[in-house]
Each structure stands twice: as C-alpha cells, then as structure tokens.
Amino acid sequence: MDITLTSPETAHTELLTRKILAEIASEAGWMPFSRYMEMALYEPGMGYYSAGAHKLGAGGDFTTAPELSPLFGAAMVSTLLPILEGLKAQGLPTHILEFGAGTGKLAESILTRLHDLGFSLDRYDILEISPDLAQRQEARLTMLSERLQLSTQYQWLGSLPNHFKGIILANEVLDAMPCDVIIYQNGFWYQRGVAVIEGKLTWATGKLVEQSLLPEVLLTGHFSEGYVTELHPSANSWMRQVAQCLDIGLFLTFDYGFPENEYYHPQRLEGTLMAHHRHHAIQDPFHLPGLSDVTTHVEWSQIGRSALVEQTDDVYLSNQASYLLDAGISDLALEIGDPSNPETFLPISNALQKLLSEAEMGELFKVFAFTKNLNAVLPGHTLEDLPGLRGRNRF
C-alpha cells in the first residue's frame, strides 16, 4: 500500500515513535500492548485522537453510521423520546450526554428530529477528548441552534458527571479503548507486548497472564498453538463507571463486535486488532503511530456483565439492523424521500443498504443498552418496551 505522507505528518509520527521507543527502553525493552495503544491514540498532543487530524468522512480514516445518514440519529429518537418525556413528566431536566461525538452529526440528527416532533431538549452535553473534533461539534451545533432557534444548552465535559439523570449515548467508542493482547503457547496464555528490533516496533511475548484475568471460555476452551486474542479491562472498567454515574435513565451504544462465544471462537486465530489509515484496513498496529486509528472489536458478553454489576435494571444486545428496523427507519426514509423519484431516493436507499445489510453494518455492528431505575420515569415499563429494543435480546 503506497501512502505518501506530508512533511508535517512524517514529523508527527516520527516524534511519537521516538517517544514510544524511549519509554520501551526505560522499561527494560518491553511495553504492554495496552500502553502502546494508549500512546498511539491518546498521547497528549501526539496521539491519533488527541492531536488535530481529519479523521471522519470521505477524506478521513473511517466513516460512522451518523456520517452516512441523518436517518440513523432520527431513528434513535424513537428510543430516546419516551425516556425524555418521562423525565419531563417527573419535573426533571431533559438531558442527553454523548461520548466522542465525532463531527457532531449524530447530535445534529437527534436534535433536528426532536425539534420536528415538537420536543425541546434542555441540555446536550458532549464528552470529547479530541480538540479539533470538539471545535467542529461546537460550530455545527451553534449553526443548528441558530437555524432552528433551539433553546437547548450545550456543554463540553472533561469527565463523567455524578448522579446523571437522562440518556447517555456512545457511538463507536468502546472499540477505541486500549486492550491487552494475549497469545496461547505451550498450554498457557501469555501477554503480548511491544519491543524494538533494529529500531522498529515489533511484537514480543511477555509474562504469563494471571488466570483470574481470563474469561472462563479461555480457561476451558481448546485453542491452537499461537492463537492470539484480546482482553478488554479498560472497556469493562469504563462500562462500570458509566453505569455507576447513571442514576435514572438509559445508556445506548453502537459498535462492531461479538458475544464471547464468537469473539473467542477457535477459528478466530489472530484476534480482531486492526489499524486504519485513509480508509485502508491495516493488519500492522504499529503502522504510522499517531496517524493510524487502532481498534479492536467489542466483546459484548463481559461488557454486559460489567453493567449488571452496577445494579442496572437489565441489559440488551442485538444487531444494528434489527434495532433500526424496529425503531422505524424505513418509515423515516419514506418521510423524507419519494421512492418513485430515483434521483432523490437513491442516496437514501444506498445509505439504508449500508446501515442494514448483513454484508455491511447490519450484523457486525451491535446495539447495546441498559436502563437504571426506569420505573422512576416510565412506571410499568421495561427496557424491551422501548422502540428499537423490542426484538430478540441476544444477551
């Protein structure tokens, strides 16, 4: 793959690489992969998400569902609105918090749909670690508020709030959390980390993994020599923190991944770790540190268990296609487009194909949700009464 870098890009990745090399040298020549991933993505001023870069859309490194079509966010409102109306009926502020809001398109789609339905949201907060994306979000939402004359207040947060009442959203957030990589050798699981050979970053095997850190499926399953996979302590810890901070309301997230029986399938020999640069999928996670996105698929079973530990009402897992269809995305498409007019309806149809098709995002991408104290705002209702979440629960 031929990728020509600009001089600033070359300087950027070389600077971060030197910092990673120096830290490896200071740690006796070996770094846990989770630390490498943390530096590659989040090192202040240099990591992929913490330094200015064009990440999303046709000219970036990846495209998300909200970027594909405003119908994605509009369909989500079917799920969110009963909660928001319940909060309002109880005299509570109507409040949405979004993690990692990208360019702000999801927020824009949700706020536009709420406006069209005559619902005025009190606050929309965003927790964003990327300075350039936060600027783009603010510009987009300011223009939206002026155009629609919204009274919604916006705030950009640096950390999770306490005792949150409302709705927490996260689209493609969990896949970017640093993971541990492990390898099966001689009947045991070992850590995989990063070393340096001839000035280049490379894989190196480290210590035995403590059995208490391994899910049951890895302790009891049969795996071939050299089988590689990932563990997700950071993602699971984050899920517990989110569940702790939510007092009343709903958490809803979308991301690509599998339940544990598929994630740790004996035939998934090389795990799910991947890098992305300029819409190219790259197997080498050490490719252009600071310029490439490094991701793993989400292991949903442990994510669900982590939420349940924090006294959530229930958890829900399904695929994106089932969610969007139950949330009414087909009817929304007919509201904004006329199928008899191919010129205007074809872009809508193409977006739906990508969002719903099993060969595209429909099956690989999952919806995961939980509620906490739902009865306080919707007496007699459960999680699976909400539009979008009424299909078969895979958890």
Residue 257 in this model has a pLDDT that exceeds 80: yes
**Residue among 179, 277, 181, 273 nearest 234 (CA):** 179
Phi and psi, residue 210, nearest 5°:
-60, 135
* 80, containing H or E segment: helix 70-89
215 close to 332: Cβ distance less than 8 angstroms: no
| Average per-residue pLDDT for the chain | 94
DSSP classification of residue 16: H
pLDDT in tens, 16-68: 999 999 999 999 999 999 999 999 999 999 999 987 655 544 455 567 999 99
pLDDT in tens, 218-242: 999 999 999 999 999 999 999 999 9
Q: What is the pLDDT of residue 344?
A: 86
**CA distances from residue 49 to 45, 55, 66, 280, 395 in whole angstroms, order as listed:** 9, 9, 18, 18, 31
pLDDT in tens, 286-313: 999 999 999 999 999 999 999 999 999 9
**Residue among 310, 296, 168 nearest 237 (CA):** 310
64 close to 170: Cβ distance less than 8 angstroms: no
Q: Specify the CATH number for 65-177+235-385; select among 3.40.50.12710, 3.40.640.10, 3.40.470.10, 3.30.360.10.
A: 3.40.50.12710
pLDDT in tens, 357-386: 999 999 999 999 999 999 999 999 999 999
DSSP classification of residue 250: E
From 54-63, 92-101, 129-138, the region with the lowest mean pLDDT: 54-63
Q: What is the pLDDT of residue 52?
A: 63
Instruction: Output the six-digit token pair for 376.
Output: 């306080």
Instruction: Output the six-digit token pair for 247.
Output: 């007092």
| Choice between 2 and 157, residue whose per-residue pLDDT is larger | 157
Q: What is the pLDDT of residue 222?
A: 95
**Residue among 270, 355, 280 nearest 74 (CA):** 355
235 close to 179: Cβ distance less than 8 angstroms: yes
pLDDT in tens, 154-198: 999 999 999 999 999 999 999 999 999 999 999 999 999 999 999
| Choice between 52 and 201, residue whose per-residue pLDDT is larger | 201
pLDDT in tens, 307-364: 999 999 999 999 999 999 999 999 999 998 888 888 889 999 999 999 999 999 999 9
- Give 316: exposed, middle or buried? Use CB within 10 Å, 0-12, 13-18, 19+: buried
Q: What is the pLDDT of residue 53?
A: 57
Q: Is the pTM of this model over 0.75?
A: yes
162 close to 14: Cβ distance less than 8 angstroms: no
Number of separate helices (H) and strands (E) present in the chain: 13, 16
Residue 106 in this model has a pLDDT that exceeds 50: yes
Residue 261 in this model has a pLDDT that exceeds 50: yes
